[in-house]
Chains A and B, each alone.
Chain A
Amino acid sequence: MWNKNLLPFVMLLVCCSPVCPESASAQETGPRDKYTMLTMPYNKRPLTLYGGQFMASAGYKFAIRSQTFNKEGDKVYLKNAGTGSVFHYYVVNARYGITGFLELGAETSLIRHGMRSQSVTYATTSLTSAERVTVNEFREVKGMGDLLLTATARLPLEYKWFDFSLTGGLYLPTAKNEQDKPSHSVTDISTSNTYTVNYRYNYRYGFGVPVWLTGAGAKFSLGKYSLQAGLVYTTPREEGTGTRWDQTLLTSKTFDYSEKEYKYLLSDSWSGTLSFHYQATGWFDVILNGSYNKTTGGWTEYWGNKYRNPETRILIIEPSFELQITPTLKVCQSAGFPVSGKNCDAPFFLFTTIRFSQFPFLR
């Protein structure tokens, strides 16, 4: 009798317990538990977002261009010659899972990078005077990059230990590939033939023509360890037309500029990545990533002739981590060390990304 009276009280206590909804949702393993999906460790989540999941990322890359690879593949130390420089690269990215197997994405970037060339002084010495002209050359690349739109499809299976995806996309140019008017100047004028010429070229960022992107990815997980591989190929849709500026230094120490058009075809680019992941805890993923990029083909017109673009390649090793701060917030950080390459810059970089994720239409 006593037990029968106690039973409704127990039921009431269970139902009114504040933990009831939490514990119930925590036990659900299906796709309706958004907190489980938002906090899913790397080794248990698929290559694309879950259906209904939205993710926005903002990243900042600080790169130090202190060395470069020449055409023989040897490292050239730029900082010894005083021509090292830094990149400030910002990227924003938004992705949305249409279903658990199809994801749409958009990405754009912003760059600011100034490169100094070696200063040269031309001196003519006579018995009565020494006339000196010093020439500084500086090139700045600044502005918004192209808009990349992507669609990624993965295997229509629940992720257990293997996943595969295919990506298609298009870079839409946000601006024409037109060099802004240079802003050269003449300073430190002490006599009519002793002064400093500062050549300053202003470049925009972006391809200037639409560029196709295709890619494939695969992922394997075994316990706390995962291996991910990816391959991306980009190719221009068409030839582009750009503009360059020529200049003449006048006796008034000012410049006369003239604009010239030229044709170009962007190089094709192949990028391969291989990353090894260790899920140390549910909220901390340690990554060792290797990436290889190679460009081939393409040409650029100079003085009416087409010159083949130099073939470039670079291999970079990137130790990184991903940290889950809150269910909706993650921070990722990586450091990039260029190992080998040819005909390209070899910057060391630190890349920090903050990712916000949510299911906007799911309670």
Chain B
Amino acid sequence: MKVFDIIRKIILSVSGISATAVSFSQTEKPLMPSDLKQQTIVTEPVTLRKGFLRVGSMLNYRVADKYFSDDGEKQYYLSNSWGTRTSFNFSLQYGLSDRFEIEFRGEYMDTRQESEKTEYIASTNTSRSVVTKQKGSGIGDTYLRLRYQLLPENRYLVSLTGTLQAAIPTGEKNPTDIYSAERYDLPVGQGNYALSCGFSGRTVLYPYSFTASLNYVWNFEGSKKFSASDASEVTFRMGNVIEASAGVNLHLNDWIVFSNEMLYNRKDKGTINGNTSSLLPESWSLSYEPGLVFQVKRFRLGESVNIPLKGISIPADPLYMMLIQYIF
């Protein structure tokens, strides 16, 4: 009987170990109800599940060092000036149904532009320094977005999601606190309403997911001061925008995703008082955006960098992004 007991224990132990052995290969884990709020950007549904609420914040940071010229050459800004642009996004996403999601996004902007130039006047043998100190801090524009799964991914190999977004110009659109032509507060808002719609597709082949999207943005007419020296607001209309992207996301392990995305953006010429202006040029950019996204229980932390590869009339500096989200 003693030998039988030992054998029985061995069988039970080995059976238990064998069952866990399956987890050594990289396969998608069976989903438990408690795991639904802990899925990664690869495994989660395209839109939030019904009743789920996600809050998040994203930090964007860019310096002004290089730009793509009108003929597509990457060049440094030659004149001495130091500019940074930081934005803090705050977003609320809510699942109205398993296929329908609403998102509200606001932003706090912090823009700075500083320079100091010296001027020597030969006739009087004197010199003077011209100090430019401009900053813009405050609540920027607000965005409202609806997303609906037209082809839900639980029924189709490739899901298709429709997106409708409205941009509301809640941020200050004009230069304020003007002390001089060099010292004033920069605007933090665009100053016009915009409506965009588009489609995005996704398919998941674990541990990969493949994404693609196409978006069109209509910019409506608005009015604002483009310069601190403008006496009154002028009417303007920014060019409409086409945005396209394609990406591959890869699970490095169960909770870290390596994201890759190529983005294309093309903006038409804009007009001021009905005429085309060099202030609103036609522009386009092609950029690559790698990133790492960490899913720690219900928290999601991410960091990525947008690297402009080609373009005309746009900044050519990398844009750094850090993300934090929590799902309730």
User: Interface on A for B, CB 8 Å cutoff?
Assistant: 2-3, 6-7, 10, 13-14, 17-19, 22-23, 62, 64, 66, 78-86, 114, 116-126, 136, 138, 140, 198, 200, 323, 325-326, 329, 331, 350
Contact = CB atoms under 8 A, between A and B. Distances in A.
Contacts of B78: 116, 136, 138, 198, 200
Contacts of A66: 82
Given A79-B114, A82-B116, A138-B78, A123 B318 contact: no
B318 A117 contact: no
By CB atoms of chain A within 10 A, which of B11, B76, B78 has the most?
B78
Interface in B38-90: 63, 65-66, 76-82
B297 interface: no
A121 B120 contact: yes
A126 B124 CA distance: 11
Contact of B82 (A10, A83, A136): A83
Contact of B24 (A13, A22, A64, A122): A22
B76 A10 contact: no
A7 B252 CA distance: 42
A184 to B, nearest CB: 11
Nearest to A9: B11
The 10 closest A-B pairs by CB, nearest first: A82-B115, A19-B21, A84-B82, A124-B122, A82-B80, A79-B82, A81-B116, A82-B81, A116-B80, A121-B119
A18 B78 CA distance: 65
A71 B77 CA distance: 28
Given A10-B7, A331-B292, A123 B122 contact: yes
A62 B117 contact: no
A226 to B, nearest CB: 24
Contacts of B65: 85-86, 114
A244 B121 CA distance: 31
B interface: dominant SS: mixed
19 contacts: A3-B3, A10-B14, A13-B15, A18-B22, A19-B17, A19-B20, A80-B82, A82-B79, A82-B80, A82-B132, A84-B63, A86-B63, A116-B78, A116-B80, A119-B80, A123-B119, A125-B124, A323-B256, A325-B256
A81 B118 CA distance: 10
Interface string B1-36: 001100100110011011011101000000000000
Contact of A325 (B115, B120, B253): B253
Given A17-B18, A17-B21, A86-B65, A117 B76 contact: no
A86 B79 contact: no
Interface residues of B, number: 42
A121 B122 CA distance: 10
B123 interface: yes
Given A10-B10, A81-B116, A125-B122, 18 more contacts: A2-B4, A6-B7, A14-B10, A17-B18, A22-B21, A79-B82, A82-B114, A83-B82, A86-B317, A114-B76, A116-B78, A118-B117, A120-B119, A123-B120, A125-B123, A136-B80, A138-B76, A325-B253
B82 A82 contact: yes
A325 B132 contact: no
Contacts of A84: 63, 82
A350 to B, nearest CB: 8
Nearest to B130: A121
Contacts of A13: 11, 14-15
Contact of B252 (A123, A200, A326): A326
A117 B24 CA distance: 58
Contacts of B119: 120-123
Given A62-B318, A81-B116, A123-B121, A140 B17 contact: no
A144 B155 CA distance: 52
B10 A18 contact: no
A80 B10 CA distance: 74
Given A13-B11, A119-B80, A138-B76, A80 B114 contact: yes
A78 B65 CA distance: 14
Given A64-B63, A121-B120, A325-B252, A81 B10 contact: no
A78 to B, nearest CB: 7
A124 B318 CA distance: 41
Contacts of B80: 81-83, 116-119, 136
A129 to B, nearest CB: 11
A331 B256 CA distance: 11
B280 to A, nearest CB: 22
Nearest to B66: A114
Contacts of B10: 10, 14
A19 B115 CA distance: 66
A122 B128 CA distance: 11
Contacts of B7: 3, 6-7, 10
Contacts of B76: 114, 116, 138, 140
Given A10-B11, A14-B14, A23-B17, A118 B118 contact: yes
A13 B12 CA distance: 11
Nearest to B18: A17
Interface in B96-142: 114-124, 132
B79 A136 contact: yes
Nearest to A117: B80
Contacts of B317: 86
B77 A3 contact: no
Contacts of B11: 10, 13
B240 to A, nearest CB: 32
A79 B122 CA distance: 28
A122 B122 contact: yes
Interface in B272-328: 292, 317-318, 320
Given A80-B114, A325-B256, A119 B122 contact: no
A238 to B, nearest CB: 34
A25 to B, nearest CB: 11
Contacts of B79: 82, 116, 119, 136
Nearest to A16: B18
A122 B118 CA distance: 9
A121 B118 CA distance: 6
Contacts of A118: 80, 116-118
Contacts of A3: 3-4, 7
